[in-house]
Each structure stands twice: as C-alpha cells, then as structure tokens.
C-alpha cells in the first residue's frame, strides 16, 4: 500500500493511493491504515502531494555509505524536523554556504519504537519506507562536528513522494537507489552496499534514542552524490517506491572546495 499526504479542497489528509484516486486515511500511524473511508475519495488530479510524514524526530546514519564503513562504530546524527519538504517544493541554497550536495537515500518511517527489539523482531516497528534526499552543505560539514549547520537547514530534507508499506515487495535491504541532477543520472547503487541494514540500524538507535510512530530514519547513501546548482533540479529515486523531484533555487557565490570522493554522509 502507498500512503501519501495530500492537500486538496477538503484540507490536508493522509490517503491511500489507488490508481488515480486517493482514499482518505484517518490515522495511519495509530494503527488505522486499513481503516479507509469509502466515502472520502479524492481524484489525484485535484490533489497535491506533500511530504508524506512530518516526523517529531528525524535521524540520519553517519558513515553508512559502503561496506568499508564496518570498520567504524555505528553513529547517528539528528536533522531538524522542520527541514522536511515535499515533492516539488524548492531546495533553497543560502548565499555563501559553499558547496551543497544531494544524497539519495532510503528512509524508514516508524510505526512504533524500536526499543527492546531484536534483529528478528525490529521490522515489526516499521510502518514503511519512502525516498529521502539528505541535502548537505559540505564546507559547513567540515567545520561543524555535529553537522547541524550542514544538514539541518530549512528545505534540506526532501521526503516523498509517498510511503510504501509493503516491505516484502520492496526488499529494502536490496533495492536500487539513484540520483539525477538537472536530468543527468548519476551511477546508482543498491542498499545492499550499505555497511548496516535496516534491522541493525534500528536496533542500534533503539538502545538510546526515544523514537515513535511517524519518526523517520535516513539509512545512508549507497550511490553517487553531487552538487546542486541554482536554477536546477534534483531527483532522488528508490526502486519499488518512486521518484522525488525538487527544484533548486537561491545563489551560491563561491562554490567552495570540491567534496572528497567516496564518503557521502
């Protein structure tokens, strides 16, 4: 099932997507995703897709971009929940921020807390997965050890276009992630390449971080990444989910130093 968040004439609601129709969902994170309202149907042509979830807590995994990162202990960082934007919303580049990179990632949307779970049971707390773009100001990342100023800015976490809840069909630990800049595709890669899979990530976070329904975990960028250009467009995609596209606005006087290859985070 694909769960979206839509704006339409009747307001803003979560909805299950069924072809060219959206069926309103009362409370997807309260266990009511199947409680669909048969009399509340919205044609998708009359709706606008928003970020599919507005998390209270937004987490990213650091140093989880390749199998070589197994040499490092697992480490997470926090992004500002208000950095979340949806499909079609602009990524605004602040003046003078330096190089800003896009990173396509699989993001996990939680249905409950991973605390106390084991590798065998932790996927029970997963509601579904969506596409994320972990926007990162590279120059600021080098000078801010917590990465807050580099990753937490408004618009620096596009999410969407919807949440895929069928994990068996998606196979999140072996699905292709890709990035396209201004219509030019970069080399894709499978989530199989990540140093740690979803279960290990969630068990790690569950040991110390209080998480709950609707919270989002970015799992790491297995594929190529690249710089954003004012006036351009960026698309992140995950096979089995879809493509998330955002225009890029703003100005970048002084593009900064090139980012080092092989270590997007």
Give the integer Cα–Cα distance in Å for 200 and 66: 15
The model's confidence at residue 264, banded by pLDDT at 50, 70 and 90, is low
pTM over 0.75: yes
Query: Does pLDDT of 255 surpass 50?
Result: no
CATH superfamily of 2-50: FAH (2.30.30.370)
Per-residue pLDDT of 209-244, as tens digits, reads 999 999 999 999 999 999 999 999 999 999 999 999
Cβ burial, residue 68 (10 Å; 0-12/13-18/19+): exposed
Parallel/antiparallel/unpaired status of strands 2-8 and 11-18? antiparallel
Q: Which residues contact 71 (CB under 8 A, 6 or more apart)?
A: none
Residues of the chain within CATH 3.90.850.10 domain(s) are 58-250
- Chain position carrying tokens 């970020």: 51
Nearest to 205 by CA among 194, 215, 195: 215
Phi, psi for 139 (deg, rounded to 5): -60, -40
Residue intervals of the chain classified under CATH 2.30.30.370 are 2-50
Report the pLDDT value the prediction gives residue 39, as an integer from 0 to 100.
59
Beta-carbon-side half-sphere exposure of residue 165 (alpha carbons within 13 Å): 19
Which residue's structure tokens are 């800003």? 100
**pLDDT of the residue at 93:** 94
Q: What pLDDT is stored for residue 31 in this prediction?
A: 61
Which of the four pLDDT bands, split at 50, 70 and 90, describes residue 110? very high
Q: How far apart are CA 80 and CA 224, in angstroms?
A: 24
Pairing of strands 36-43, 75-79: unpaired
pLDDT at 253 (0 to 100) = 45
* Nearest-angstrom CA–CA distance, 259 and 226: 9
Strand partners, 101: 136, 227
Q: Please say whether the beta carbons of 94 and 250 come within 8 A.
A: yes
Beta bridge partners of 37: none
Q: Which of 59, 60, 73 is CA-nearest to residue 195?
A: 73
Note whether 62 and 205 are within 8 A (CB): no
154, 135 Cβ separation under 8 angstroms: no
Q: Is 58-250 in CATH node 2.60.40.10?
A: no
Interval 90-105 mean pLDDT: 94
Alpha carbon distance 122, 204 (integer Å)? 10
The residue length of the chain stands at 265
pLDDT higher than threshold 60 for residue 252: no
Tokens of 150: 């580099």
* Per-residue tokens: 183: 């219509």
Digit-coded pLDDT (tens) for 14-29: 999 999 999 998 888 8
């Amino acid at each position: 099932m694909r769960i979206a968040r839509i704006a339409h004439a009747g307001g803003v609601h979560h909805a299950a997507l069924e072809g060219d129709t959206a069926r309103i969902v009362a409370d997807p994170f309260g266990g009511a995703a199947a409680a669909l309202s048969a009399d509340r149907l919205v044609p998708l042509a009359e709706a606008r897709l928003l970020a599919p979830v507005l998390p209270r807590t937004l987490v990213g995994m650091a140093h989880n971009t390749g199998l070589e990162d197994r040499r490092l202990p697992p480490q997470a960082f926090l992004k500002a929940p208000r950095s979340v934007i949806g499909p079609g919303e602009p990524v605004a580049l602040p003046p003078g921020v330096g190089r800003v990179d896009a990173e396509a990632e699989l993001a996990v949307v939680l249905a409950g807390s991973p605390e106390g779970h084991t590798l065998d049971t932790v996927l029970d707390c997963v509601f579904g997965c969506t596409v994320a773009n972990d926007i990162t100001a590279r120059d600021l990342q080098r000078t801010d050890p917590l990465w807050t100023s580099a990753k937490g800015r408004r618009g620096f976490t596009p999410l969407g276009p919807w949440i895929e809840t069928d994990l068996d069909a998606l196979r999140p630990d072996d699905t292709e992630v890709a990035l396209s800049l201004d219509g030019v595709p970069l080399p894709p890669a499978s989530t199989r390449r990540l140093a740690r899979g979803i279960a290990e990530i969630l068990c790690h976070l569950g040991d110390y971080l209080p998480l709950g329904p609707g919270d989002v975990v970015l799992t790491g960028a297995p594929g190529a990444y690249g710089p954003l250009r004012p006036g351009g467009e960026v698309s992140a995609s995950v096979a089995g989910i879809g493509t998330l596209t955002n225009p890029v606005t703003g100005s970048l006087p002084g593009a900064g130093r090139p980012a080092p290859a092989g270590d997007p985070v």
